[in-house]
């Protein structure tokens, strides 16, 4: 009876097989990428990190790094590339073995080992980024006192005139998915989920909600009034009724003190790859809403900071009330954004 209780469910076995396949694919695709954007490189530059090599525009990046004293990048300089494909293959094989022959204890041990591997990998990546950005050549052509060029572990960071984006690539997302699969299987087999899940359909719904959440888009930007400056006119953003923001596909956030500044910036930088546009609800200080879902009015009496004179509302009733109060007119986003 004890051995029966230790057996894995069919669902957990299937999840382990999917995990093994995902990790197997991760051996051959890039795990991470660092994207660089600057005015002189409108198309951007990309460094891709595969399990066994560096990819992307490595030589161009090395040429740029030479001027600021950063080390040049070469695959042979990183011992991780000699062992990482085998480590990933090892985890893929273990996932298969646990799926076909393992029990609950082996699943728990495998999940723990996978978590430890993920932590060690990220610590090593941070160490690599730190050394790469801090150990500079003192005889470099360009030296900025106190400046370090450490790329972000994940997310965005401004480095002189370059914007650096560090994000998972295909293999990295496969690792995230594998971790979620293992977490779900572990919670299920431990009985933790059974305390509040009464059906398989509910369990699957929770799992896919977790998976969706891990791949969801960026959160609504946060504007710090009287601190953040407008990315177009450079004025301090002070009026919470008129702030605006946009996010790029790479996760960078630009903030504005007036919707008209956002429009001007968008139209002057059409190749940047914008994702979402936000505007403040006029009736709620510094609360951003998607501009496509907002009710917009325009009129001279609105008196926005840079005289774009557009106010946004999250519901039609408020928009109608202020439209009459200001003697304004309704306007659509697609009209004012061009």
Q: Are 266 and 337 in contact (CB under 8 A)?
A: yes
Reduced 3-state DSSP string for the chain: CHHHHHECCHHHHHHHHHHHHHHHHHCCCCCEEEEEEECCEEEEEEEEECCCCEEECHHHHHHHHHHHCCCCCCHHHCCHHHHHHHHHHHHHHHHHHHHHHCEHHHHHHHHHHHHHHHHHHHHHHHHHHHHHHHCCCCCCCCCCCCCCCCCCCCEEEEECCEEEEEEECHHHHHHHHHHHHHHHHHHHHCCCHHHCCCCHHHHHHHHHHHHHHHCCCCCCCCCCCCCCECCCCCCECCCCCCCEEEEECCCCEEEECCHHHHHHHHHHCCCCCEEEEEEEECCCCCCEEEHHHCEEEECHHHCCCCCCCEEEECCHHHHHHHHHHHCCEEECHHHHCC
Check whether 251 has a pLDDT greater than 90: no
Check whether 49 has a pLDDT greater than 70: yes
Check whether 215 has a pLDDT greater than 60: no
pLDDT band at 338 (very low <50, low <70, confident <90, very high): confident
Neighbouring residues of 36: CB distance < 8 A, sequence distance ≥ 6: 44, 45, 46, 47, 61, 162, 163, 164, 165
> What is the structure's pLDDT at 194?
65
Check whether 204 has a pLDDT greater than 90: no
> What is the structure's pLDDT at 152?
87
> What is the structure's pLDDT at 278?
95
Check whether 170 has a pLDDT greater than 60: yes
Q: Among 66-80, 95-109, 285-299, which stretch is predicted with the lowest mean pLDDT?
A: 66-80
> What is the structure's pLDDT at 102?
84
Which of 236, 192, 66, 77 has its CA nearest to residue 140? 66
pLDDT band at 324 (very low <50, low <70, confident <90, very high): very high
> What is the structure's pLDDT at 206?
59
pLDDT averaged over every residue in the chain: 86
Stretch 266-292: mean pLDDT: 86
> What is the structure's pLDDT at 1?
41
Q: Which one of 2-11, 102-111, 270-279 scores highest in mean pLDDT?
A: 102-111
> What is the structure's pLDDT at 176?
93
């Amino acid at each position: 009876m004890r051995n029966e209780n230790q057996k894995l469910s069919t669902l957990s076995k299937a999840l382990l097989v999917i995990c093994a396949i995902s990790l197997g694919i991760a051996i051959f695709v890039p795990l991470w990428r660092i994207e660089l954007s600057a005015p002189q490189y409108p198309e951007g530059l990309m460094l891709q990190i595969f399990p066994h090599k560096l990819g992307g525009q490595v030589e161009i990046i090395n040429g740029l790094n030479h001027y600021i004293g950063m080390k040049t990048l070469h695959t042979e300089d990183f011992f991780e590339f000699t062992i990482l494909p085998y480590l990933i293959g090892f985890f893929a094989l273990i996932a298969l073995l646990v799926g076909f022959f393992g029990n609950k204890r082996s699943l728990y041990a495998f999940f723990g080992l996978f978590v430890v591997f993920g932590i060690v990998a990220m610590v090593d990546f941070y160490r690599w980024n730190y050394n790469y950005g801090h150990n500079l050549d003192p005889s470099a052509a360009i030296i900025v006192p106190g400046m370090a060029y450490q790329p972000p572990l994940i997310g965005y960071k401004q480095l002189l005139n370059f914007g650096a984006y560090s994000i998972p690539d295909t293999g990295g997302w496969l690792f995230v998915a594998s971790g979620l699969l293992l977490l779900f299987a572990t919670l299920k087999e431990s009985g933790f989920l059974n305390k509040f899940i009464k059906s398989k359909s509910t369990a699957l719904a929770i799992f896919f909600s977790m998976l969706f959440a891990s791949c969801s888009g960026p959160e609504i930007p946060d504007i710090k009034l009287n601190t953040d400056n407008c990315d177009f006119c450079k004025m301090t953003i002070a009026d919470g009724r008129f702030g605006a923001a946009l996010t790029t596909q790479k996760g960078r956030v630009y903030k504005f003190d007036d919707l008209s500044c956002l429009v001007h910036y968008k139209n002057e930088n059409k190749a940047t790859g914008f994702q979402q546009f936000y505007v403040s609800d006029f009736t709620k200080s510094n609360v951003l809403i998607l501009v496509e879902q907002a009710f917009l009015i325009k009129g001279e009496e609105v008196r926005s900071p840079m005289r774009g004179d557009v106010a946004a509302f999250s519901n039609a009733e408020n928009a109608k009330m202020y439209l009459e109060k200001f003697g304004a007119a309704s306007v659509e986003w697609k009209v004012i954004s061009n």
